[in-house]
């Protein structure tokens, strides 16, 4: 089998397959990826032209991200996933990306390690319900400040991703950080969420919860190396409901997990 370019018509079958696997994914994310980096969004089709496997990727400035690698159950074990992964990696390398990120299941780590990826952290999925308290009003800030803080955490500018996620959600920015509340999968996602310290993160989280109806489901993904995040989320009675390994390929990133309290998307863009 060969890889082919993914198209808009492939979004519906992708979402159907992702839904059967229990993934949290929405059409906007696929549309964004196809619009921004179509060279790295690929499928494998069966003899009838129907897509049976997918991968997406995204180029930022000097870095990129591979995500949404999924193969229909009846086509697994045939090397299709590795074929798509390598094609996405090649697309990013041809686009002069220096560092490539992805999140891997523990089962998938061996494949990525074999091709030069290194584990740098564990990403924790925190889930729970909004608990509104007294209103909190952070000082005002700017979206540009958010982009600079995000770059400080990831070691690269990711402006287009931030613009898209902040535009579809509601963001609170101040000089100590920012948080975006996005509707996602019938609940609310908190991310991107960057803060310079634990007290700033706590203040932003409390303000964000005022935007979410009390008792509504929420979730976020944060790095295990951010101990402050774990303390805050335990205090909010959130619980860990999943983990993935954060890996990179190429130039070691200027990654600062202590600043990263929530990722912008649930795995496919970082």
CATH class of 3-97: alpha beta
Locate the domains of the chain by residue range. 3-97, 123-262
Is residue 12 a contact partner of residue 55, using CB atoms and an 8 Å limit?
no
Query: Which residues lie closer than 8 Å to 79 by C-beta, 6 or more apart?
Result: none
Q: b/e map of 5-35 (b: 16 or more CB within 10 Å)?
A: ebeeebbeebbebbeeeebbbbeebbebbbe
Architecture in CATH for domain 123-262: 3-Layer(aba) Sandwich (3.40)
Per-residue confidence (pLDDT) for residue 186, from 0 to 100: 86
How many helices (H) and strands (E) are present in the chain, helices listed first?
Answer: 8, 12
Distance between CA atoms of residues 144 and 119, nearest Å? 30
Alpha carbon distances (Å) from 109 to 21, 227, 251 = 18, 24, 19
Query: Which residues lie closer than 8 Å to 253 by C-beta, 6 or more apart?
Result: 63, 99, 101, 120, 154, 155, 156
In the chain (270 residues long), the average pLDDT of successive 10-residue segments reads: 95 96 91 97 96 98 97 96 98 98 93 97 96 58 81 97 94 93 92 97 93 92 98 96 97 98 88
3-97 and 123-262 in the same fold: yes
pTM over 0.85: yes
């Amino acid at each position: 089998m060969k890889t082919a370019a993914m198209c808009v018509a492939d979004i519906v079958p992708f979402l159907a397959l992702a839904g059967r696997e229990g993934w949290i994914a929405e059409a906007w994310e696929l549309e964004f990826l196809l619009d921004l980096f179509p060279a790295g969004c690929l499928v494998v089709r069966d003899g009838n032209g129907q897509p049976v496997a997918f991968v997406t990727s995204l180029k930022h400035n000097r870095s990129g991200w591979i995500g949404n690698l999924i193969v229909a159950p009846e086509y697994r074990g045939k090397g299709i996933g590795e074929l798509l992964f390598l094609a996405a990696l090649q697309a990013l390398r041809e686009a002069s990306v220096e560092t490539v990120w992805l999140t891997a299941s523990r089962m998938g780590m061996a494949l990525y390690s074999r091709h030069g990826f290194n584990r740098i952290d564990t990403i924790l999925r925190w889930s729970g319900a909004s608990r509104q308290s007294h209103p909190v009003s952070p000082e005002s800030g700017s979206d540009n400040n958010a982009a600079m803080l995000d770059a400080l955490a990831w070691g690269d500018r990711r402006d287009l991703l931030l613009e898209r996620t902040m535009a579809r959600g509601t963001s609170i920015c101040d000089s100590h950080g920012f948080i975006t509340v996005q509707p996602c999968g019938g609940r609310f996602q908190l991310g991107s969420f960057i803060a310079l310290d634990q007290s700033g993160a706590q203040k932003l989280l409390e303000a964000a919860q005022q935007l979410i109806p009390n008792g509504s489901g929420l979730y976020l993904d944060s790095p295990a190396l951010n101990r402050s995040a774990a303390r805050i989320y335990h205090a909010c009675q959130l619980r860990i409901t999943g983990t993935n390994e954060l890996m990179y390929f190429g130039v070691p990133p200027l990654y600062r997990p202590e600043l990263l309290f929530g990722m912008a998307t649930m795995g496919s863009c970082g």
